Amino acid sequence: MGMTARAYLLFSLLAIQVVYAHEHHDELPDEESDKPTDAILWLHILLQILVWGILFPVGMVLGITRSRWHVPLQSVGFVLTAGGYILGHSHGGRMFLPSAHGIFANILLVPIATQLALGIYLKLHIHEASIRPYAVIAHGVVGKAYPILGWTQMLFGAMTYRGYCRGEELAQCLAHYIMGSGFIAYAVIMAIILLVGEGWVRRSGRSPEWWDSWVIFLWGIVNTFTEHRGSHWSVKDMQHTILGVLWWAGGLLGIILARNNKRNVVPALILILTGWAMSEHEQHLMISTKVHAIFGYTLMLAGVTRIIEVVWFPGTSRAELVDDDNVSDHTLADSGPRFLPAADDNKAAASKAFRHLPPFLLVASGVLFMSGTDEELKYVHKNEMDHVTYILIMFSIAFLLYTLIVFVIGLYPTTGRNANKEDNRGNRIELTTVTTPRTKWYSRVPNAPQTPTEPLHVIGEEEDD
């Protein structure tokens, strides 16, 4: 999350820089801004969405798994993004003001060139004992930043295309896009833990709520001191500031309750309270009130489903083995693996399906919140679209986005060096012998032998066809 926070800080600084640099040039002549979008600009938009939204994230995962397709895919991505960059400066028709999108496009040349140079260097297999190990680390860090960089640039592009987030609208844009992106990032982390990361969480000795609570605690401190500007306190200033206090106070309680690897419902409760507060925000337009209300209800539902998951479905996923003595305390301890009989397999599969609800609802909440700025909703209202249609469009985008998230994460256990591992197919743990972890962070999840007298199943394991 630290890298995410830095990306969002960069987002803010660039946007503010653009506003101040062009405070006297923030309008285009009508004949320039009303020109149609030509085919070259559409090709630029679609090509860069393909590269930064799909190809580079997929290539990142293939790099992590050491897949032989990593280099070809990333090479295609580099060629296409270079073509998209040229197209972005070659279109005719509609014109745009100088913007953060253009500035960030130039900044992106640095990580692109760095990643390309590091990739070529690593392919040479030189300086194996001196420089190469550090180059591997740098290559991994830059590559893992690509989804964040791409997401940020695509948001900049959407703002530039519509001419949003200038002048007095900047603060509201920052609040909606940063917080909405934060909900989506939270959902991505939850999905990673659900699909491939629970073994790591258990070995870390910390429950998921311990990590959640720290993020909420630190984010609350930031919001407490950044949501109010000037000497006058508006109603929204007070609401947003007290939400920051709520988050760091609740996050602190969540950290304390998560000691000794215990699970708790405090992060989910904070989501519910935040959703309720947002659903009660007074808005100037009826459509804005409706959109904010549905956003709040969706966030509240994410909190409710997370409480259900924590309380009723602890330790029931394929990758998670828990000790019988610790189930009542809702821990993720790995001191004694527990296996469920085949009769409980259906319940485990149902719990696995249910646990997709909180991250999906967080994605939907993030999309709805980003779609709720005054400028966007004034445009929708002007074009006589009702709130039902608009909200359903946003949920459709959320479905597509969560599909992409699940697809990309699902590549990890099925590609490269993980493709032929029995314990990764279907997110399933092979029943062999108990092994002693080599390290706290990188060892395999402990296994247990299968007895010949009664067929036992790892929690959530599927039957072979």
On whether residue 125 sits in a domain, the answer given is: yes
Determine the pLDDT at residue 422: 53
| 97 located within any domain | yes
Q: Domain range spanning residue 55?
A: 1-163
Q: What pLDDT shows up at residue 344?
A: 58
Q: 167 in the Ramachandran plot: left (φ > 0), alpha (ψ -120 to 50) or beta?
A: left
Tokens linked to 342: 């085949």
- pLDDT of 229: 66
How many Å from the N-terminal Cα to the C-terminal Cα in the chain? Answer: 40
State the alpha helices, DSSP H only, in 54-131: 56-64, 70-88, 100-107, 109-124
Residue 185 lies in a domain: no
Are 394 and 367 a contacting pair, CB within 8 Å?
yes
Q: Give me the pLDDT at residue 406, please.
A: 96
DSSP per residue, 184-245: HHHHHHHHHIIIIIHHHHHHHT--HHHHHHHHHHHHHHHHHTTS--SS---HHHHHHHHHHH
Q: Supply the pLDDT for residue 314.
A: 63
pLDDT computed for residue 206 by the predictor: 87
Beta bridge partners of 262: 331
Could you tell me the mean pLDDT of each successive run of 10 residues in the chain, 465 residues long?
Answer: 46 45 47 71 93 95 94 94 89 81 93 94 92 95 94 94 87 86 92 86 85 89 76 77 92 93 92 91 82 95 93 57 41 43 63 89 96 91 92 97 96 90 48 39 41 43 41
**Number of domain units in the chain:** 1
Name the DSSP class of 341.
E
Report yes or no on 406 lying in a domain: no
Amino acid 50: pLDDT: 95
Does residue 428 form part of some domain? Answer: no
Q: Using alpha carbons, list the distances in angstroms from residue 420 to 137, 304, 362, 424, 463.
A: 25, 38, 33, 8, 18
Strands (E), 28-130: none
DSSP H helices, 258-343, are 266-279, 286-312
The pLDDT of residue 168 is 82
Residue 235 lies in a domain: no
Residue 130 lies in a domain: yes
Q: Output the pTM of the full model.
A: 0.79
In a domain, 362, yes or no: no
Reduced to 3 states, what is the DSSP secondary structure of residue 17? Answer: helix
Instruction: Please report the pLDDT score of residue 436 as a whole number.
Output: 39
